[in-house]
Amino acid sequence: MFQPDSKKAKPGDVVEFKREDLLLTGKTLPSKSKNSIIVEISSESDLEAVNRGHPNTVVAHEKYRVINKGKN
């Protein structure tokens, strides 16, 4: 079962999140939003699986977990 964590991602961090019962991975992009982040979905097959033509999506802070810190 997917368990989000309480860490807030910063631009460049890699996060995992669940969308349409799929576990997706992506790199966070700069955003001024207080309640969510923008994530660039990493894999083209993930994009096809969630039926998106664009790689960016918005994810609420309580819906992801940080799996790799970026180089900041």
Total domains, the chain: 1
User: What is the phi-psi region of residue 48: left when phi exceeds 0, alpha when psi lies from -120 to 50, beta otherwise?
Assistant: alpha
Range(s) of the domain holding residue 38: 14-68
Q: Quote the CA–CA distance of 50 and 34 in Å, as a whole number.
A: 25
pLDDT at site 72: 60
pLDDT (tens digit per residue) in 13-41: 999 999 888 899 999 999 999 999 999 98
Q: Quote the CA–CA distance of 9 and 20 in Å, as a whole number.
A: 22
pLDDT at site 17: 94
Residue 8: pLDDT over 70: yes
User: Considering the domain boundaries, does residue 26 fall inside one?
Assistant: yes
User: Considering the domain boundaries, does residue 6 fall inside one?
Assistant: no
pLDDT at site 3: 86
User: Considering the domain boundaries, does residue 1 fall inside one?
Assistant: no
Q: What is the pTM of this model?
A: 0.85
pLDDT at site 39: 94
User: What is the phi-psi region of residue 51: left when phi exceeds 0, alpha when psi lies from -120 to 50, beta otherwise?
Assistant: left
pLDDT at site 68: 92
